[in-house]
Amino acid sequence: NSEDVRCKCICPPYKDHSGHIYNKNVSQKDCDCLHVVEPMPVPGPDVEAYCLRCECKYEERSSVTIKVKSIILLA
């Protein structure tokens, strides 16, 4: 399920741009700043420096397991 995987990039403030969290459904190999941060908030020459500051993590979850646990907890 595409809703059960995502890449989350946390980018701190850079120059005059505030920090931001980006989420996107991409494959694990594409989980990096260049594939997830859209639109890129900095001009071309600053992209590499901006991306080096971002921390990107690939996350997987099982929504079915979460729903089952929630039902058991509420019962």
Please tell me the total count of domains within the chain. 1
Using the predicted structure, report yes or no on whether residue 49 has a pLDDT greater than 50: yes
Nearest to 24 by CA among 9, 39, 42, 41: 9
Portion of the chain with pLDDT greater than 90, in percent: 72
Classify each residue of 40-54 as buried b or exposed e, where b means 16 or more C-beta atoms within 10 Å of its C-beta. Answer: ebbeeeeeeebbeeb
Range of the structural domain that residue 53 is part of: 5-74
**Residue 2: what pLDDT?**
47
* CA 28 to chain centroid: 11
Q: At residue 6, what are phi and psi to the nearest 5 degrees? A: -160, 160
Q: What is the mean pLDDT of residues 10-28?
A: 94
* pLDDT tens profile 25-38: 999 999 999 999 99
Portion of the chain with pLDDT greater than 70, in percent: 96
Greatest C-alpha distance within the chain = 56
Q: What is the pTM of this model?
A: 0.74
3-state class (DSSP) for residue 16 = coil
